[in-house]
Chains A and B, each alone.
Chain A
Amino acid sequence: MKEQAMTPAKISVKNTTFTYGDGTQALKNINLDIRPNELFVLFGPSRSGKTTLMRLMNRLSDLIDDTTREGEILFNGQDVFGRRTDITDLRRRVSMVFAIPTPLPGSIYDNMTYGLRMAGIRDKAVIDERVERGLQQAAIWDEVKDRLDSSAFALSGGQKQRLCLARSLALEPEVILLDNPTSGLDPISTATVERSLYELKQTYTIIMVPHSVQQAARVADRAAFMLNGELVEVGTQQELFLNPHDKRTEDYITGRFG
């Protein structure tokens, strides 16, 4: 534990409060440190602020009009809301995969290369290599390798979801934000994705909103339980799922509400 405490946080959320235009306070004074190469799980009932918190980390929250924010979020020690932040670069390094798969118009290959080309990578060999590795890491390579030129819309829901994950991985980010990445997946694909998450965290830092408490307990290194915009409890997998301190965490994990 001492060693971990010494490692500088990859992402550090400090005193963050976030309010939407309609007055809904989505986040209430959140403090949280995410360490490099860990799989950090944010869980809790819906509308508890998990997605909002994720979207703040790479400033996708900028897209929503009329919000107010307090506190700061540090990525590698730099305030992401600071004036000198290059937002595009930030989003390449802190890449997000959404709960609803969002393939873009075009072929599977196009989807994989959008981000790379927009990042200014032109070398075909590099692009192809990243495409293949991304698809393999997202456990979809075998299913699509023979039809990279067909439309991404023709894929099944679960395949779309993995394609979106692969698309982010091809960018080789530092942090991957996964908002319920297995929502539309069957148990076999879910297991495949979970296995590759284990591989991925050797290279990346992963923050994930899980599909269920069970999944949270399966994959998390550390986890945080959120409820109505509050961060109730943060701890390692052992602490949180076997021996929660807070009554609300215990009730949620044991299924008394949620």
Chain B
Amino acid sequence: MAAQTNLNSMPPQDEATTPTNWRELVIENLIRLAGISAVLIITMIFLFLLREGFPAFVEVPLSDLFSSRWYPIEDKFGLLPLLAGSLIVTVGAVVIAVPLGLTTAIYLGEIAPPWQREILKPFIEVLAGIPSIVLGFFGWVALAPLIQSMGAPSGLTAFTGSLILAYMALPTIISITEDALYAVPKEYRDGALAIGATQWQTIWRVVLPAARSGIVIAVMLGIGRAIGETMAVMLVTGNAANIPDLGFGALFQPVRTMTATIAAEMGEVAQGSLHYSVLFGIGIVLFIITFAINSLATYFVGGGKRRRGGQI
């Protein structure tokens, strides 16, 4: 009776400690442990970040943090150039990646004949698999000279970073948007076409609104990918911690992002020094920004109740 094989096929038993129940208990608790530990680890990372970075906000006067000079050797910790750098590179990437990603997804999901879809989709999946440093290298070797030849003082600019980041965000945006479009019931398209909508009208007025929540998630995840990226951006943005001039020209000046600053300087600071704390402080700022973007996404999607595409 206490056979250890074939437990699954055993009939249910009344005793509380039959082998089946015991197994259930172990598995259930293992899963619980895994679930809780994920949350626990994230909390601990956040607490660590706070502990290491908090002195920065106490010891450096706020007016210094919001100054425009980042020069740690002289204890100048103005975060504005880094914020501006991240902002320009990310916004640039979003402006490039979102329209391109959405149109690609619409083409793949709604317009392309099956044989084209079968050729294009693997390419997009491969694009997602390219390590970011390889894209950065590509930017350094191929894009930067191109941009310089167009008249910029250096090829290593915010725009170069934006292009590379846009490319990195594209696969995410495309595949999640396509999923969202796919989740829109076929009946919507039939219904719209049957009352004389053109294909484009059907896509614009019926399919896209129905897939809205999924598309918002796609864009937000794409942005999240872009804002957190470090190495590729470090390679191609020129790493100059200056606030760029206002206007369109800002795109074609070298900048330095927050992530690149942490990566570049963390190896050289003394642990516990003010510079060290400020670098963690930048980490806190990044964390807050990402958190804000995620919250916004959840808000747009409607309280997180509706997850993907389809339902309105």
CA gap between A118 and B209 in the complex, in Å? 16
Q: Decide if A115 touches B114 in the complex (CB within 8 Å).
A: no
Which of A66, A89, A95, A100 makes the CB contact (< 8 A) with B195?
Answer: A95
Inter-chain contact B196/A98, CB cutoff 8 Å: no
Interface check A96, CB cutoff 8 A? yes
Contact B194 A88 (CB under 8 A): no
Check B193–A95 contact: CB distance below 8 A: no
State the total of A-B contacts with C-beta under 8 angstroms: 69
Chain-A contact segment, one of B19-27, B84-92, B182-190, B232-240: B182-190
* Chain B 187-205 per-residue mask, 1 if CB under 8 angstroms from chain A, else 0: 1111111111110010001
Is B210 an interface residue when CB atoms closer than 8 A count as contact? yes
In the assembled complex, B312 has its CB within 8 A of some CB on chain A? yes
**B189, B190, B192, B195 pick with most chain A CB within 10 angstroms:** B195
Write out the residue numbers on chain A whose beta carbons fall within 8 Å of the beta carbon of B194. 58, 60, 91, 95-98, 102, 168
Cross-chain contact B198 with A104 (CB below 8 angstroms): no
Indicate with 1 or 0, residue by residue over B58-78, a CB within 8 angstroms of chain A CB atoms: 000000000000000000000
A60-93 interface bits toward B, Cβ cutoff 8 Å, 1 = contact, 0 = none: 1001011000000000000000000000110110
Closest Cβ of chain A to B66, distance in Å, is 45
Q: Cα distance A245–B75 when bound, in Å?
A: 101
Complex contact A118–B114 (CB within 8 A): no
Bound state CA distance, A95 and B113, in angstroms?
25
Cα distance, A98 to B185, chains bound together (Å)? 14
Cβ-defined contact, B190 with A63, below 8 A: yes
A105 touches B195 (CB 8 A): no
Given contacts A118-B201, A164-B191, contact A95 B206 (CB under 8 A): no
Query: Could you say which residues of chain B place their CB within 8 Å of the CB of A65?
Result: 113-114
Contact pick for B196, options A88, A97, A106, CB 8 Å: A88
Query: A226: shortest Cβ distance to chain B, in Å?
Result: 21
Question: Would you call A95 and B196 a contact (CB within 8 A)?
Answer: yes
Q: How many residues of B contact A (CB 8 A)?
A: 21
Query: Would you list which residues of chain B between 88 and 143 have a CB under 8 Å from chain A?
Result: 113-114
CA distance A167 to B196 in the complex (A): 11
Asked if residues B192 and A114 are in contact (CB atoms below 8 Å), the reply is: yes
Report whether B195 and A103 are in contact in the complex, using a CB–CB cutoff of 8 Å.
no
User: What is the CB-to-nearest-CB distance from B188 to chain A, in angstroms, rounded to a whole number?
Assistant: 6
A102 pairs with B191, CB closer than 8 A: yes
Q: Shortest beta-carbon distance, B308 to chain A, in Å?
A: 15
Shortest beta-carbon distance, A154 to chain B, in Å?
12
A114 in contact with B195 (CB, 8 Å): yes
B195 A92 Cβ-Cβ under 8 A: yes
| CA–CA, A23 and B192, complex, Å | 28
Q: Is the CB of B205 within 8 A of A114?
A: yes
Closest CB in chain A relative to B244 CB, distance in Å: 43
Most central of B113, B188, B191, B192 by chain A CB within 10 Å? B191
A63–B113 alpha-carbon span in the complex (Å): 11
Binary flags per residue of A143-159, CB closer than 8 Å to B gives 1, else 0 = 00000000001000000
Q: Which of B113, B190, B196 has the most CB of A within 10 A?
A: B196
Contacts A98-B190, A100-B187: A88 and B198 contacting too (C-beta < 8 A)? yes
CB of A171 closer than 8 Å to a CB of B: yes
Are A115's CB and B195's CB within 8 A?
yes
Residues of A within 8 A of B191 (CB): 98, 102-104, 164
Task: Give the complex CA separation of A130 and B192 in angstroms.
Answer: 18
In the bound assembly, the distance between CA atoms of A104 and B196 in angstroms comes to 14
Chain A 122-171 residues near chain B, CB threshold 8 A: 153, 164, 167-168, 171
Contact A118-B205, Cβ < 8 Å, known A105-B312, A168-B195, A171-B196: yes
Q: Separation in Å of the A233 CB from the closest CB of chain B?
A: 29
Report B149-175 CB contacts with A as 1/0, cut-off 8 Å: 000000000000000000000000000
Residues of B contacting A106 with CB < 8 Å? Answer: 209
Docked pose: A16 CA to B195 CA in angstroms: 25
Residue pair B210, A105 in contact (C-beta under 8 Å): yes
Known A-B contacts A100-B187, A105-B188; the reply to A91 vs B209 at CB < 8 A is no
Whether a CB of chain B sits under 8 angstroms from the CB of A242 is no
Is A119 among interface residues, defined by CB-CB distance under 8 A?
Answer: yes
| Among candidates A91, A103, A167, A171, residue contacting B193 with C-beta atoms closer than 8 Å | A91
B67 to chain A: closest CB distance in Å? 50
- Which parts of B202-235 form the interface with A (CB within 8 Å)? 205-206, 209-210
Q: Give 23 A-B contacts (CB < 8 Å), ordered by A residue.
A: A88-B196, A88-B197, A91-B195, A97-B194, A98-B190, A98-B191, A100-B187, A102-B187, A102-B188, A102-B190, A104-B191, A104-B192, A105-B206, A105-B312, A114-B197, A115-B197, A118-B196, A118-B198, A118-B201, A119-B196, A164-B191, A171-B195, A171-B196
5 A-B pairs with the lowest CB-CB distances in the bound complex, closest first: A102-B191, A92-B196, A115-B195, A102-B187, A96-B194
